[in-house]
Each structure stands twice: as C-alpha cells, then as structure tokens.
Structure 1
Amino acid sequence: MKKILLFVLLVVSPFVVAQNVLYKGVVKDFETDSPVPYVSITAKGSNSSTVTNIDGKFQIWVSPDTKELTFSHLSYKLKSLSLNSKNRESLTIYLDIAAYELEELLIPNRPIKDIILEVLDNSQKQFSNDVVLNTYYREMLTINNEINTFGDGMLDFYYKDKKESDIIVNQSRFARFKSEEFKAYEASPLTLHLLNMQELVTDAFQFTTMRKIVKEKEYGLSLTQKTGADGRTLTILHFEPESNAKKVALKGTMVYDEEKKLVLDIEMSIHPDFIENLTMRNRVFFRFKPNNVVRKTIFNIDGNRYYLSYKMGRIHGTVERETERFYAGGNYELVIVDTKMGNLQPNPDLIYHEPTLERLGKNYTTPYWKEHNTLVLSEKEKAVLGRLNEVE
C-alpha cells in the first residue's frame, strides 16, 4: 500500500504544483483611504495582467513561481508587492500619489495636430506585428436605467492590422432580465446594438477616434507637460469643442510618454455646453440621440513591452420609434489578461462575427468568472447581477 500511495503522490504532485494561485484584494489611496479604480496589475516576469474595478477591487491568477505583482497608475507611484502565501485573498494595497512638478502649458513651434499624429503613428507601429489578446470582455444594455441584458466571456482577439479583429469566444454567458421598464422595448421589433465588440481592438490599436478628433477643425487642441520625481515626463493633449463648434461635442485628454512618444491613457466624454450638437441619428427601424458618452483606454510600458491594458465605453441616449420612446444605454469593458506576439492563426470555423454575445447564450463548461483574471463586480453590480447564472 505504501508503494501505491507513493506512486500516486508522485503522479499527482507535478499537477498540483502547476496550479495557478489566486490573489484578491483592494487598491486604495494612501492619504484618503479611497479605492483607486483602473489600476493596472501585472505579474512580474509574465504577461498576465488585470485592472481594478470601480471599487478598487481585483483578482489575479498567477503561476506559483511568480514572486511579485506590480501596480501602476499614472497618478500614483509604481508599487511592487512581494508575494507570499499569507492573506492571498484579502490584500489591501496602498498607493502613494506621484510627485509631479506643476503642469506647464506648452507653446510648440509647429501644429499640435502634427505632433499628436506622430505620437499616434509611433504607438500604432508597436502593434504592426500580429498580436493575440487573451481577454475578459463584458457588455451591458440598459433600458430606462435598468439592466436589460448582461453578457461576459473569455475572448481571444487576433489582430492583423485590418478593419476588424478575428474573435474566438472560448467561454461566455448571456442573460436577459425582466422589468416593467422593458415593456415598450420588448413589445417593439427592435434589437438594440449600441456598441460592437468586433471593432474594439482595432479602434484601440489604430487610434481611430483620436485621429478623427485631432483632424477635426472644430476641436481646440492644447498641450501641457509635467515631470515626475523619477524624471519621467508626461505630455497631455487637451481637446474640447471650439466656442463656435456646430457638430462636435467631446472633451478629454490623451496622455503620452514624452521620451518614448507612446500613448498611455485616453479619456473622453461629452462637453455639457455642446450636448445640443449631438443630433438624432437614423438607424434601421429606429432613431437614437446620445446624451452621455464616456470612453477610456489604458496602455502600459513594462521595459521594452508596450501593451493595451484596458478599454471601456459607454453610450446612453433616447430611442424613438413611431410613438415609442425610451432611454437606452450600451456599456462594454475589455480587460487584457495576456498578450502573445507572432503569426498565430485562429481556427476559421470558430471565428465569431456577431456584435454581441447574445447568440451564444450560456456557453461555458467551468465558472471562468472565478478562475481567470476577470473584472470583479462592483458592489452596485452585485446587487443586480448576483443571480446572473439563474437568469434565462
């Protein structure tokens, strides 16, 4: 019997050792004790990564030989955490505010548009080779401010410098909720797709929206710059509609590393003074007028590695069809879990072409939302989505 047990242990032990280890916790501001959202977390020595949610919470699975996690955010000092077996699932990470010199207005000797287009070209060039992104993706449709549908999944994006990326959906789930608020929408022949996941990675890598903004004459552009205590200089593009703008409405910033000329962060939303520039758009079977648009994209630099870390988008507005009228919103978030470079080809029979995950329904064999570097549900989301897997 001892010999048999020994044999079994020898066979099983390598498998046990190879199991990934889960670390969970919250990231907070050291001075205010407030949670810090959108912190990029990376396992040192690998491409495994995730981000904190709106409550500063995170979960990340790493190989057992991982020694360190790094926490990065443009507003804070880089933080490294040595890993051990203690308190793996109740970590509290405090970040110190990054010390920057006073932000200065730049007066360049050539058009700002040309400067920014060069930065965008250089950043896009870093993704000129074939890239495969292992990601966690989630989408949400709201009707009259209540969640109508929710979907998420582990998706692979095969980017090859073209209009769309090839998508493989490894596992996913999709649920439709019920409410009195949905009656008008459900009684209509509409299927709303306010956002399209097929375009997410291509838009990020080609900086499609930013290129349109800097080329649009109705946008006013300005540059500021600040240097950190570590010597790193960040340049910030500020954009907003000119005072006489008639057709544009977005305002925001784009931050880039001055030395490397690489984009690090893009944020944009609707300027409240120009919301009337957003007109009713005709779509098939209905009309839609947006009044709330938010976008955020985060890139990171880790040594010689430059990578997309996180992308989110939200668009809300009024939907009209004949006598029907209701308020609808589309939301998505994309967290890059791992990145692979090289000529990797997807199985053509498995490529997914739909704009949302709806057609796949419940498409999972394991609880991937617990077993991968997914985005942790916020407390507000838990209240609504806590019974997600019980919903048809």
Structure 2
Amino acid sequence: MKNLLLFLLIPFISQAQIVNGIVKDKNSKEGISFLTVAIENSDVYALTNENGEFQFNLSDINEKNIIIDNIYFEPFSMKINDGNYINIELTELSYTLEEMVLYNQPIKKVFEDIISNSEKTLKTNVKINAFYREDYFKNGKKYFFSDGIIDFYIKNKTSKIDAVILQSRVIDSNSDQQLNEIDLEYIAGLSPDEMIEMGMKFNFIKKIIKDKNYDFHVTSKKSGDNELHTLYFEPIPTSTERFLFKGKVVFDDSAKLIYEMDVQFDDNFKQFNKEINILILKIKMNDINYKVKFNYNNNKYYLTYLNQYFDCDVITKKGKNTEKVIGKTELIALGIENTSTFPNKDSIFKKKKLYENGNKFSYEFWNDDLIKNYIK
C-alpha cells in the first residue's frame, strides 16, 4: 500500500467539490501518515495515507475550515475552497524528555479508570463507514486477498457491533476451489465486527492490565501546556506463560483518553509459546502485532485505524506437514455519522472472514478514483 490514499468516503453526488492535499512535517518535509484532517464543527474528516496525502469530496466545501488537532503537532486551521490543492506543513511539538510518573495508587487501577472513560467517551448510536482488507500468505506465496466497504453500527448500551457489507471482492490464488473449512478455522483471526469491537472496547489492553504476569510503568513528557503520557508494559522476568506481550499505550492523563496502542509478542518470551490444538491441526504462533489509533477532534472521540498481523506455523497432528501462514487485517475508518436507524438481522454479516462474502459488488469500487489507490 505504498501509495495508499485515505479519503472521506461519501455517496457520489452531482457537482461534488474536491479538495486534495498533503500534510508534511515542516522540518523533514516528509508526509505524515494516518493523520486526521477534519472539517470544523462537523463529523466529516479524512485520513492521510502513508505519504501524507488526503482528499475531501463534498457537495459544499467553499468557505469551510479544515482543522488538524494532533497530539504530536501544533494545531492547524485554514479556510478552503473548491479546487484547492492544500500543501500543509505542521510543526512538531517539542516535548521534554520522558520522566517517570508515580501515582498514589496502583498503576493498574489508574489505567482501568482511563480505559473505562475512553470506552464511555467513544461515540455510540453511530455508523462508521470503513475500508476493510484481509491479506493472507501461505508458505511465502499470496494465498488470498479480500477487501470491501463495510458499515459498522454501534448502538448505545449494547455489547454487539453489527457489520453490513456494502461491497466486497475476493482474489483467490486457488480460483478453482474455495478455501476449505479447516483453512478458514486456523487463519480466521477476528471477524470484521470482532476487529472493531476489540478496538472500541479495549479488550486487548483490558486483559493485559488484569494479568499478573506483567510489569507496568508510566512516563510523561511536556510541550508547553500539553502533557502526553505513555503506559509501558512487559512480562515479569520470572514468567513462563505462553503468549506474553510487550507494548505501549499513549494517553491523555487529564482527559483520561487513549490515543494509540501498539502491542506485540515479547521476543524474550516466545520460547514459551506452546502449540495450540485445533481440530486435526496444531498451531504454533510465531508473532502477533496489534495497533489501534483513536482521534479527538471537534470535541468528538472516535476510532480511526486498526491493524492486526500474525505469523504462525500450521502443523498436522501427525507432524508430517507444516505450513507457514501470515495474515494481515486492516480497518480504516473513513467516516462517522450519528444514526437512529440500525440494520435488520438479515443484513448483518455473521461469517468469520470478509472472504466468505465473496465477490458481491454493484460496481468495480477498486477502480473508483476515490478508492483505487488502496489496492497496491
């Protein structure tokens, strides 16, 4: 996805006005990826791609303000008009060196409160429109690829997030036959609704916070009136449990909101990753990486990005055959809107992988000017 273009996806309408732009670091002149560029006083936003590029496609852009409010850069605002190409340069905030933070209560308790507040603050009774992709490899070769446009419905006071597939496409290396049930079982990972549910409910970090096998410490750094905190965690030296992680969580201690999470296996403890028995197979997990980003803009807090990567060996129980499977699932939240209308049960996607929805598209969405740069 070298030239991945992240944009605001909205229904096509006549006389749409388009604004293209790029966001760069003022000093390095390099593009800034996965940065939210928002229309002020609205739910409308776009995300920059890996090169810092973004695009708005709206019915009315003239005289609107775009704003960028990010924890690592000075705030930015400017008025835009139709046809503008916007070259934005942001000044990185000059933070002090990280200093250890001491609390008058256990860090676990402090962070449980931050998780709880973040979960409560995330918007509910909303529809999140997202681009979703699955990319899998077996023994070093492309196994299958699927992508699509999905609406996720998050209803207040419910634990379930519903996914409705708007468009989907499958590219299968074995086009003459579908993946069998065993394949789907061991490469399944998380379904689309489980992916976004894990992010919005902070399930990964909740389990780690409650686990006795981890050490925690918090640091802070300052830039003027801004103060940024980071929770670091790693396994205790004496632990021999399997699937032990290390990582960090970036958060605002005063607002009690989480902005970023980055979790991966701790290399020093991979030796304890015992095999898992699944049906007639054994799974040896070699690596897992999980990243999620949230944004706070226009006084609204929402999820913008999820990425899950895994590497595993699949072994027959007789040990005669081993296959290496690598998978990457990515979810990019393109737009969010309040809603009081929720899907009926027949339209909700209930299967494990987007792959299983097959080729169901009303137009070649991957060739659309607003989408084609996703597919590289």
Which residue does the alignment assign to 1:346? 343
CA RMSD of aligned residues (A): 2.9
Max Rg structure: 1
Structure 1 residue 328, shift from structure 2 partner: 0.8
CA distance in 2, matches of 1:372, 1:211: 40
SS at match of 1:256: strand
Report Cα offsets for 1:137-156 as digits up to 9, x if no partner: 11111112333211111111
Cα distance change on mapping 1:186 and 1:301 into 2, 3 Å: closer
Aligned partner of 1:325: which letter?
T
1:256 to 251, 254, 261: 251
1:307 to 302, 307, 328: 302
1:241 to 235, 238, 242: 235
SS at match of 2:200: helix
Structure 1 residue 368, shift from structure 2 partner: 3.1
Which residue does the alignment assign to 2:285? 290
Aligned partner of 1:80: which letter?
S
Q: Is the 8 Å Cα contact of residues 365 and 372 (structure 2) preserved in structure 1?
A: no
Between structures 1 and 2, the one with greater helix share: 1
CA distance in 1, matches of 2:371, 2:40: 18
Which residue does the alignment assign to 2:57? 61
Q: Is the 8 Å Cα contact of residues 102 and 226 (structure 1) preserved in structure 2?
A: yes
Structure 1 residue 75, shift from structure 2 partner: 2.7
Which residue does the alignment assign to 1:123? 118
Structure 1 residue 74, shift from structure 2 partner: 3.2
Cα distance change on mapping 1:290 and 1:38 into 2, 3 Å: farther
SS at match of 1:211: helix
Which residue does the alignment assign to 1:198? 193
1:154 to 133, 149, 172: 149
Structure 1 residue 24, shift from structure 2 partner: 4.1
In the alignment of these two chains, the number of paired residues is 357
CA distance in 2, matches of 1:25, 1:150: 29
CA distance in 2, matches of 1:34, 1:349: 46
Cα distance change on mapping 1:55 and 1:212 into 2, 3 Å: same
Q: Is the 8 Å Cα contact of residues 133 and 340 (structure 1) preserved in structure 2?
A: yes
Task: Confirm or deny that 1:165 pairs with 2:165.
Answer: no
Cα distance change on mapping 1:281 and 1:53 into 2, 3 Å: farther
SS at match of 1:203: helix
Q: Which moved more, 1:115-124 or 1:146-155?
A: 146-155
Give identity over the alignment, percent: 26
SS at match of 1:99: coil
Report Cα offsets for 1:44-70 as digits up to 9, x if no partner: 333233333334444443343262333
Cα distance change on mapping 1:24 and 1:119 into 2, 3 Å: same
Unaligned runs of 5+ in 2: 1-11
Structure 1 residue 171, shift from structure 2 partner: 1.2
Which residue does the alignment assign to 2:96? 101
CA distance in 2, matches of 1:376, 1:17: 21
Cα distance change on mapping 1:93 and 1:324 into 2, 3 Å: farther
Structure 1 residue 269, shift from structure 2 partner: 1.5
SS at match of 1:352: coil
2:17 to 18, 21, 25: 21
Q: Is the 8 Å Cα contact of residues 41 and 298 (structure 2) preserved in structure 1?
A: no
Structure 1 residue 372, shift from structure 2 partner: 8.4
Q: Is the 8 Å Cα contact of residues 24 and 32 (structure 2) preserved in structure 1?
A: yes
State the TM-score, normalizing by the size of structure 2: 0.84
Structure 1 residue 176, shift from structure 2 partner: 0.9
Aligned partner of 1:284: which letter?
L
SS at match of 2:92: coil
SS at match of 2:323: strand
Unaligned runs of 5+ in 1: 1-15, 180-184, 383-392
Task: Confirm or deny that 1:212 pairs with 2:207.
Answer: yes
Q: Is the 8 Å Cα contact of residues 19 and 64 (structure 1) preserved in structure 2?
A: no
Cα distance change on mapping 1:197 and 1:210 into 2, 3 Å: same
Query: Residues 77-96 of structure 1 correspond to what in structure 2 (within 5 A)?
Result: 77-86=74-83, 88=85, 92-96=87-91
